Each structure stands twice: as structure tokens, then as C-alpha cells.
């Protein structure tokens, strides 16, 4: 991923989504050649020259941009905290070495035994899984497997070269896509999360290969990626359409693992006493005990 190109694309998509009226400018009618704000309008509102802003969109001035300039652009473009952080990450390539030092980019990810034991010790009706830095599934318990991937082998996460990947499943795996009545929202959240991951590890070949594969095989992914959504995936409440227990409404919580850069634990739960909680109990009965997958046997 070319960070300078990404900075320009990010600014252009945010400029295009904001109309002059929303930015507090007077519209005088007539046909506008570009959607949203023009470069000169944004530059004026942010208090910078048009030439300097043009260099930012071309990716040549980000490293020298002051905090005041970036804050002004974020304010005018009405960025939330996640987008503001993404802007800073793209504009400051000099900080790349610090990000790379946070964790290895390309070595095979390993799961700490204590994390494996933790998700294995959860209740039978508490689905859980562990995601790697590039959203590979490193482990799941029985309930997590039954909820999200009953059509896949339970021990699939144990093969580093063939681990299920949540993003790949969302765009290329029909049974996974059938789980979500609001598929568009789930796909957009997935792309927004991948944007943050790619910004954190822009030079990692694995994330580059994943993005290239999805863009080539899924026009839906390519269109969403071009829209440049950026969002954290900390918690969501979603509807599910499960092939075994029917409709559910579940909340997921993503917990970061500070000692394992990029790895996250995902827990799913239902409102106590709800029909969805009862469905999770039925799913636990159908899917077996809440054990985490065992290590593959050696022959």
C-alpha cells in the first residue's frame, strides 16, 4: 500500500462527502464539476493555501504538515476520532519505524496458551474467537465455531497456511455472507477495519496480498475500498440468520491483547432472558462443549 497515494485518496473521499452547505458556505447555483467541496474551498476553510493543500492530496506534503494543519483539516472535514487518527497515520510516514517495532509483520502468528485457555474456559453458550493482526482466525471455541463457521472444519485455525480469514469469508464465502441480514453494513465495517490495519502495517506483504485478492475477486470489496471507510470494530449489535437456530441478535465485544500486537479476542453475547440467549443455548447443545480447538495431532 502506497501511503502517499492513500493520503490523497483519503482526503479526496472526505472532501467529496461534504457539501458546501454542510461546510457553512453559500451556494450560488449552477453545476459543480466536483462532488462536495472544491480544493480551494477546503483550503480556505482550513486556513491554508490552495497550493499547499494540493500537495497534501498529491502525497508530497504530509510529512511536514503540522498538528495545527491536520487538526484544521479534520475539523473542516468533520472527521471522527478514528478518522483523525488515520489521517495522522497516513500523513506521518516518518513514524513507520515505531509502528513496525510494535510487532513482526510477516512471521507466522502464534497464540499464547493462556489466551487459548481463556476462551476455552468460557461458558458453552459464549461464542469466542481470537483474531490475528490480519484478521486470520487463530482459535475459536466450540460455540464460536458453531455460530460463525459450522460449515468449516473445527480445527481449521490450527493450520497456519490455511487459517480462516474473516475478511476473506465476508466477501468470498457464501455461507458466511448468508449469516448477516444487513450484509452491506457488515461488509462496510470489515473494510473500515482493514483500512486501519493496512495503515498500521502498510509494508506487510500479507495484508497487501489479502487486499489484492479481495479487490480482484469481489467487485463489492473494490467499491467499498475505493470509498475509504475507516472505523474501529470495538463493539456492534447485529442481527444474524443462523442455519441451525434461526434469527439471533447478538452484541460482539473486541478486546485487544496488549502483549500480542494486533491480536484481538472477540466475545459474543445476547440480552439475558431473550430469545437470542435461548437460541445460543440451543446452539451450544447442538455444537458441543465450549472447548477451544486442540492442537493438531502429529503422525
CATH of the domain at 46: 1.10.260.40
> Would you say residue 297 lies in a domain?
no
Q: Measure the CA–CA gap between 135 and 130, rounded to whole angstroms.
A: 9
pTM of the model as a whole? 0.81
Total domain count, the chain: 2
User: What average pLDDT score do residues 217-244 get?
Assistant: 92
Side-chain-facing half-sphere of 96: CA atoms under 13 Å: 17
Q: Is the pLDDT of residue 223 over 90?
A: yes
Considering only residues 21 and 222, tell me which one the structure prediction assigns the higher pLDDT.
222
Give the pLDDT confidence of 148-197 residue by residue, as tens digits.
Answer: 999 999 999 998 888 999 999 999 999 999 999 999 999 999 999 999 99
235 and 269 inside one domain: yes
Indicate the residue among 80, 101, 122 that finishes a domain: 101
Indicate the residue among 81, 101, 121 that finishes a domain: 101
143 and 197 inside one domain: yes
133 and 277 inside one domain: yes
Q: Work out the mean pLDDT of the chain and round it to a whole number.
A: 86
Considering only residues 296 and 263, tell me which one the structure prediction assigns the higher pLDDT.
263
> Would you say residue 108 lies in a domain?
no
Of 12-21, 79-88, 109-118, the range with the highest mean pLDDT is 109-118
State the cell numbers at 179: 449469516
44 and 163 inside one domain: no
* pLDDT given for residue 152 in this prediction: 96
Q: Is the pLDDT of residue 105 over 70?
A: no
User: Which range marks the domain in which residue 13 is found?
Assistant: 3-101
* pLDDT given for residue 296 in this prediction: 36
What's the pLDDT band for 291 if we cut at 50, 70, 90? very low
> Would you say residue 294 lies in a domain?
no
87 and 140 inside one domain: no
Domain with 123 in it: what CATH number? Answer: 3.30.450.180
Q: Is the pLDDT of residue 206 over 60?
A: yes
State the cell numbers at 61: 506534503
What is the per-residue DSSP string for 15-32? HHTS-TTTTTPPP--S--
* pLDDT given for residue 4 in this prediction: 62
117 and 88 inside one domain: no
137 and 258 inside one domain: yes
> Would you say residue 295 lies in a domain?
no
157 and 277 inside one domain: yes
Question: Which of 44-48, 158-162, 250-254 is least confident?
Answer: 158-162
> Would you say residue 296 lies in a domain?
no
What's the pLDDT band for 246 if we cut at 50, 70, 90? very high
Q: Is the pLDDT of residue 19 over 60?
A: yes
> Would you say residue 298 lies in a domain?
no
96 and 136 inside one domain: no
Q: Measure the CA–CA gap between 84 and 64, rounded to whole angstroms.
A: 17
73 and 214 inside one domain: no
Q: Is the pLDDT of residue 262 over 70?
A: yes
85 and 122 inside one domain: no
* pLDDT given for residue 104 in this prediction: 53
* pLDDT given for residue 102 in this prediction: 42
Indicate the residue among 101, 132, 156 that finishes a domain: 101
Q: Is the pLDDT of residue 141 over 70?
A: yes
139 and 214 inside one domain: yes
What's the pLDDT band for 293 if we cut at 50, 70, 90? very low
* pLDDT given for residue 67 in this prediction: 87
> Would you say residue 187 lies in a domain?
yes
> Would you say residue 299 lies in a domain?
no
Amino acid at each position: 500500500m502506497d501511503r502517499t497515494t492513500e493520503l490523497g485518496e483519503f482526503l479526496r473521499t472526505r472532501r467529496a462527502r461534504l457539501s458546501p452547505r454542510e461546510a457553512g458556505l453559500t451556494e450560488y447555483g449552477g453545476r459543480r464539476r466536483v462532488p462536495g467541496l472544491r480544493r480551494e474551498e477546503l483550503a480556505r476553510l482550513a486556513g491554508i493555501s490552495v497550493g499547499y493543500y494540493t500537495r497534501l492530496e498529491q502525497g508530497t506534503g504530509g510529512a511536514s504538515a503540522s498538528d495545527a494543519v491536520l487538526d484544521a483539516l479534520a475539523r473542516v472535514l468533520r472527521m471522527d476520532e478514528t478518522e483523525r487518527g488515520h489521517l495522522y497515520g497516513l500523513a506521518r510516514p516518518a513514524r513507520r519505524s515505531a509502528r513496525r517495532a510494535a510487532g513482526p509483520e510477516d512471521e507466522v502468528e502464534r497464540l499464547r496458551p493462556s489466551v487459548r485457555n481463556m476462551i476455552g474456559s468460557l461458558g458453552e453458550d459464549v461464542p469466542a474467537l481470537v483474531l490475528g493482526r490480519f484478521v486470520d482466525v487463530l482459535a475459536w471455541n466450540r460455540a464460536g465455531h458453531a455460530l460463525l463457521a459450522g460449515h468449516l472444519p473445527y480445527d481449521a485455525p490450527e493450520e497456519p497456511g490455511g487459517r480462516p480469514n474473516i475478511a476473506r469469508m465476508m466477501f468470498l464465502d457464501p455461507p458466511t455472507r448468508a449469516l448477516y441480514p444487513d450484509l452491506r453494513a457488515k461488509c462496510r465495517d470489515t473494510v473500515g477495519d482493514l483500512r486501519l490495519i493496512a495503515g498500521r502495517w502498510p509494508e506487510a506483504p500479507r495484508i497487501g496480498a489479502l487486499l489484492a485478492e479481495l479487490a480482484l475477486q469481489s467487485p463489492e470489496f473494490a467499491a467499498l475500498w475505493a470509498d475509504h471507510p475507516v472505523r474501529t470494530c470495538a463493539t456492534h449489535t447485529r442481527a444474524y440468520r443462523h442455519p441451525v437456530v434461526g434469527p439471533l441478535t447478538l452484541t460482539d465485544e473486541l478486546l485487544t491483547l496488549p502483549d500480542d500486537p494486533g491480536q484481538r479476542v472477540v466475545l459474543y453475547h445476547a440480552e439475558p432472558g431473550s430469545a437470542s440467549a435461548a437460541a445460543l443455548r440451543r446452539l451450544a447443545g447442538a455444537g458441543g462443549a465450549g472447548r477451544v480447538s486442540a492442537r493438531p495431532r502429529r503422525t
